[in-house]
Amino acid sequence: MYIWEQQHWPHFEWDESVLRPMLDAVRLLQGRVLGKTEAVHGQADLDVEMDALIQNAIRTSEIEGERLDVGSVRSSVARQLGLEQAGVSARTTPESEALVELLLQSTHQLDEPLSREQLCLWQSMLFVQGPGVLGNVRVGELRGDHPMQVVSGRLDQPNVHFEAPPRGQLEAELDAFITWFNHPPSWLDGLVRAGITHLWLITLHPFDDGNGRVTRAVTDRALAQAERQSVRFYSLSAAIMARRHAYYDHLESAQKGSLDITPWLLWFLDTLKEALEQALLRIDRVLMKATFWQRHATTVLNERQIKVLNRLLDTAGEEFEQGINARKYQSLAKVSKATSTRDLAELLEKGCLSKLPGGGRSTRYQVLLGQAHEGTQ
């Protein structure tokens, strides 16, 4: 029996005493994130929002197995936030533009009531190029009459993980959800509401495709409303992607379980906690980047060097954990070997980079985050 077949669906239950420690931990982290962002001003403040939005766009798609071009997403985010950044190209795609617009709409219009039309519009924004090669996805409208099943395995022996409510009752089910979302009980904790929102809407599976991404966008709106904060400084989708298999396992367990959704809410809150912890690290990185550029405000650099430095600062500890060498610089800046070697030598002299231990035939460099070198500037 699926959860939507339970007699008292959708009257969910949960054990507040079990959730309380996690709710307290999440609220503490929310306060720390807000406190850190209040210390960030101007360009750095926009950089924090940009970083979270890029993460959200890339990861909400990646959860569904769709890989977006990172450069296009970065360009779309920069354009729609009005950010001018050295090293950010103007190259965008219709997909990245529409997805970023969807994510901004979902959180920047906090007081606008959710509606069936809004959900259909958001789903259509995921398919700006049409329904795809198969052509069997209804775009901008609710799903068709065929049973909506989540399956895996062989075509001749499918493993059915979940089946959504039948099409005949979908309008009534969706309207009930929307009414609850727009008029939640006054006593309902905002974070618990976000967890219920996620489970309830993904269970209805109102569309042929795009249900996960739309659900996560609506969940982001619920979180933004709970915090009364339209600007997002963390990415729940990034935390979900990091534990993607557990995400689907917990969804399946909840959708095949009783109306007591305490285990699901506990997992949801723990994932939200992880998202906030990662946000603190990313905000530190943005602050570090802002400090670096303040220190080098009068350092004369060419456009190639600024582009590569921004890339290193944006991805510190990830893509360039082992530093950068002349060959990688050559690839990023699209220059000759001689130019890359000369640019790196200048960055070293001007105190922007430092050499990593090892050297040899392929010297590696890292961004120098300490005091500027007293060289030529």
206 prior amide bond cis, ω within 30: no
Task: Report how far residue 51's alpha carbon sits from residue 88's, in angstroms, rounded to the nearest whole number.
Answer: 13
Cβ density class 123-158: b for 16+ within 10 Å, e for less: bbbbbeeeeeeeeebbbeebbeeeebebeeeeeeee
Mean pLDDT, range 155-159, rounded to an integer: 72
pLDDT value at 150 more than 80: no
Q: Which residues pair with 153 in a beta bridge?
A: 158
Please list the residues that pair with 151 across neighbouring strands.
160
Every domain of the chain with CATH number 1.10.10.10 lies at: 298-367
CB 216 within 8 A of CB 59: no
DSSP string, 270-291: HHHHHHHHHHHHHHHHHHHHHH
pLDDT at 322: 79
Which tens digit of pLDDT belongs to each residue from 262-313? 999 999 999 999 999 999 988 888 888 888 998 999 999 999 999 999 888 8
The pLDDT tens digits of the residues spanning 38-55 come to: 777 666 677 788 888 999
Name the one residue in this structure whose structure tokens are 């530190």: 284
Q: What is the DSSP track for 208-255?
A: SS-HHHHHHHHHHHHHHHHHT--S--S-HHHHHHHTHHHHHHHHHHHH
Check whether 183 has a pLDDT greater than 50: yes
> Which of 176, 70, 56, 142 lies closest to 105 in space, CA to CA?
56
Q: Which CATH architecture has domain 298-367?
A: Orthogonal Bundle (1.10)
Residue 355 has what pLDDT?
Answer: 92
Outline which parts of the chain fall under CATH 1.10.3290.10. Answer: 3-286
Handedness of CA 285, 291, 293, 296 (dihedral sign): negative
CA angle 214, 217, 220 (to 5 degrees): 155
Contact 253, 175 (CB under 8 A): no
Correct CATH for 3-286 of 1.10.3290.10, 3.20.20.120, 3.40.50.970, 2.70.98.70: 1.10.3290.10
Q: Which residues contact 236 (CB under 8 A, 6 or more apart)?
A: 56, 216, 219, 220, 223, 271, 272, 275
